[in-house]
Amino acid sequence: MPSERQYELVYIVAPTATDAEVESLQQEFDELIEKLGGGVEETDVWGRRKLAYEIGHFNEGIYIVQLVNGPAEMVSELGRRLRVRDQVLRYMTVRVDEDLRKSRRATERRKATVARRREARGLPPVVEVKDESESAAPVPEVPASEPAPEPTPATEAAPVEPSDDGVGSEESEKDPEVSNEEE
């Protein structure tokens, strides 16, 4: 079992806290995480949002989301410290490395299925284009094809209109003497 795992830490700070207090609280938790053998990969301050229900006579809170790497002992100590802070209304820590691994595996299976189906149909393989952010977006190589003609009911005789692609209609194939084009 790996000792280093990835967690998503979300905590809600009371709306009475100033920006400086929120920043110092965030820095305090960053330092604590590093001291406990972890690291903060990403921090996202969502800002002031309305709460789903009232917490401690507050209807709003300042949301902070952090992506954290570290051992399980770090998470338990972090939870203890978050509980004793009066400014923190609620917090939640979720392990996300397992979810990320499952989603990567599902994506790989989907890509393999698409490639297998395209190969069975005789289509060219999907070409992946990587942009500056290193995210792969599959782009299928699709040859240009003409739209299929609309079928006409066999009971009614529809008037024949000349087509732009130069292909004759069914009636012109049946009776070679009748032509819609002027010579």
Question: Distance between CA 58 and CA 75 in Å, rounded?
Answer: 26
Task: Give the pLDDT of residue 57.
Answer: 92
Total domain count for the chain?
Answer: 1
For residue 127, give the H/E element and its range.
strand 127-130
55 lies in a domain?
Answer: yes
Give the model's confidence band at 183: pLDDT under 50 very low, under 70 low, under 90 confident, else very high: very low
DSSP sequence for 40-107? EEEEEEEEEEEEEEEETTEEEEEEEEEEEEE-HHHHHHHHHHHHH-SSEEEEEEEE-HHHHHHHHHHH
* Paired tokens of 111: 């890509």
pTM of the model: 0.55
Structural domain range at position 82? 5-98
Query: What's the pLDDT band for 128 if we cut at 50, 70, 90?
Result: confident
Q: Does residue 154 sit within a domain?
A: no
Q: Which CATH number is 54's domain given?
A: 3.30.70.60
With respect to residue 116, please indicate whether it lies within any of the assigned structural domains: no
108 falls within a domain: no
162: in domain: no
Question: For residue 94, is it within any domain?
Answer: yes
Residue 123 lies in a domain: no
pLDDT of residue 169: 47
Amino acid at 140: P
Q: How does the average pLDDT of the chain come out, rounded?
A: 79
pLDDT tens per residue across span 83-106: 999 999 999 999 988 777 788 888
* Residue 127 resides in a domain: no
CB burial class (10 A; 0-12, 13-18, 19+) of residue 112? exposed
Model confidence pLDDT, tens digit, residues 6-24 = 999 999 999 999 999 999 9
